[in-house]
Structure 1
Amino acid sequence: MTSTAAFYRSSLIMLAIGVLVLLGIVGSSIWLVRANNNYSEETASLRRVRSSIVGLLTTVQDAETGQRGFLLSNDLSYLAPYDKALQELPQRRKALVDNVSPLPSYAAQLDALNTAVEGKLLELSTTVALAKEAKLPEAVAIVRDDAGREYMDKVRSILGNFLEQTDDRLRVLVQAQLSAASNLQWVTIGGAVAILIVLGGAILIIVQHVRDLQAATDEVEFLNVGLEARVRERTEEVIRANQEIQRFAYIVTHDLRAPLVNIMGFLSELDTAMKSVTTYILADDKSPTEEEIREARQAVEEDLPEALGFIRSSTRKMDSLINAILKISRDGRRKLQPERIDLKSLLETAAANVQHQVSESDGAVDIRVRAGAVITDRFSLEQIFGNLFDNAVKYQLQGRPLALEIDAYPDGSGRVRIDFKDNGRGIGPQHLERVFELFRRAGEQDQRGEGIGLAHVRSLIRNLGGDITVESELDQGSTFILTLPSDLTKIVRSMES
């Protein structure tokens, strides 16, 4: 629980942070506003400079236009633009000088500009006067001279340079103003967010200080509920495991007891046969009767070989059953080694191992994988796929081409489902669960086997944190449904913890 001293200390820290943020916002805003004002003032000044440049250039061009019209038409009405330009020109020149004189890069070219303007005005006034005196050829000759054109080109060049400098600087200023405005906006937004964060932090500290005791109580209750759920889950697992053990123990004792009963029964027959042989062999003082000879001969020729054969067959059966149990036990104790596995590649490899058998019946295997890679134990998955492919080939329906379809796809969060569907003999409804029991087989027993394949598959898949079920219909085929976690490492970590 947060102490009172810690509460006051946290509150003071949040208050200090809030004051610093506020000072930062105010300082940044003042600086950005001043910068923006400076940019605005300079922009207004440059706009006045630009207006005076354009005004002077336009006035000189209007004067030249009026002069050219008068010379071409000899009509005094064309002198209206010329006369107006001459009236405005002094004011235009003064406005330009006033605006650009404080700017060194402009002021340095003012003398050259004045010289060019004066020269152009002299050329214009001379030609207009000659035309008015009916000396048009002399006026045209002056126009055709390069002096007037050179003055006008000089005026255009200098004023054009002024305009270019002005526009370049205006673009820089506009960009700077936009940047300053954007920065001011972000400073304001950032400051507001920071203040809200500080305010929220302060509120959280206060709320946390008040609610600590309730939070501790809630946490204890939550842990109790979680503990009960975990205990219930573990209890269910123990019950299920115990049922599996009991079922396994019954199967083992039942199937191992049968060969032992056979051995004991045929040992009794062997003992009976040995008595007949012993009587015949140990007959010292009298010749054996015909009945004793017949019984001894029957024991040697029939009873003894039959008993020994059944004993040998029973012991071989017991050895096979014990080896099967050891195999499942070894696989259960083997340390799992999770790795990233491409399901499509692994399924194609398993299918290739039975491809020649499938081809003999003109069958086909169709593999469809819609799930990504899984992280699981490769050896176990290879064993599972191999058993299911072998079973599909072993129990196909005679006279019908084997069609085997495998479909792998996501099955909820963190799990993958793989369907093995065949068109084989199928399984009766009363045997759907029996086929997964150890030493249990269903249907016609015309194939070699001890009944451990599917039991082995179930043991392997459950060891990977998954399960297997089957849906089937006699003479129509079966679908074995595998589900397993997409990441075995999570299951392993959970079991280790």
Structure 2
Amino acid sequence: MLLAAALTLLGIVTMSGWLAESTRQFSGSVGRTTSLRVAAGTLLSQLQDAEIGQRGYLLTEDRQYLKPYEAAITAVDTTIARLHNLAEGDADGLRIVDRLAVLAAAKREELAQTIALMEAGRRDEALAVVRTGYGMMLMDNARRSFADLITPADAQLDTQLAALIGQARASGWVANLGGLFIVLVVGGAVWIAIRYTRDLMRAQHAIQSLNDSLEQRVFERTMELRRANDEIQRFAYIVSHDLRAPLVNVMGFTGEFEAGLASVRAHLDRLPWDGGDALASEARRAVEEDLPEAIGFISASTTKMDRLINAILALARQGGRAMNPEPVSMQSLLESVAASLRHQASEQHCTIDIEGPLPFLVADRLALEQVFGNLLDNAIKYLDPARTGRIAIRGRLEEERLVFDVVDNGRGIAPQDHERIFELFRRSGVQDRPGEGIGLAYVRTLVRRLQGEVTIESVPGQGSVFRISLPKALALSSEMPAHGA
């Protein structure tokens, strides 16, 4: 319907434009014909004025009568030139104007001849020339030429006027019908809009009802999630705590076992060597080789398990810790974190640059220190020994959020591991550095509790960029404890 209305309106505009162009052409034609009529009438009037002045002078011999004659004769050439300009492009009109010019020249010659005879004192001869009727014949021919010039133009104007009236009538019908159609379309559109508005209001009421019940369901689900989250944290803490007791026992008994083994080794060393006693040789080999190796494996495993339990406990404790937002100068905080790692970085011949000034934000200071401390520690740990290490920290504002980049030129991380490294106990690349794969999982947990996100861009052999996006101010109302994983 709207398309049809638009097409109708376009038709009305087109018809109006066509009518306006026709009117313009008709007006131009009328103006040209009117000017032609006026110029031809002026020429005829000038010849009559010249003739009247000539006859008055012949009858009275008073030169006062020659003034209109002289003025008219002077203006004839200008009028003929104007007629030529107005008839340009019209071959028939130009032919008639040329004929008028010839008649005007002959008439001027006839008038000039009689006046010259009168001035020479030959009045009878001058009157004789007038009585021949030659001058009257020239004027009659000029009037007929004027009629020949004007009559076709008047006929053309009548035809154009009739056509213009028809066009205006047709345009009026189109405008009226189009206007009626547009009114119908607008009325239909208004009716549809009213129906749509009514349906929309009903839908809004339904959505409002759903929202009211949804808020209650979301609140209930949130409380359930918080309870489940708290239970997971307590479970992780209890499990880690309960695992520590037998682990401490194993570590203690391993120490006693090492002490006992040292006593047995000392006793065997005091006994005389008997190469033929196979049992003694086997016991000596067990004390010197097998048992120390087994104890070493047990110690390494218990040490690793102790580190894992400590990490799990740290995650559990962090998940239950309440965020404490406060204004934080990131410039000062990062300088402090970098200073704590400066010795470790210098041993690796690495520089840490903080490209300030960095923006302020409102967040938990301890969480920020742990996030950037872990990222810098990781960057130093996985530098490429083939080149001098460089680590840079940058900050900027992007769409009402603060974005921090930790950039290094280290080993880099393969694309398939970009998400995997944030999982608990997962690591990437060659495992030639100590660690349990907890640091980056811990970083993501903390960043999400700060209502932010951490991502990575990395190319193996070139380096990595860890990008952290944070709100300018931590909203406590939406902050909810998260479990360690």
Q: Please give the TM-score of this superposition, normalised by the length of structure 2.
A: 0.43
Q: Please give the TM-score of this superposition, normalised by the length of structure 1.
A: 0.42
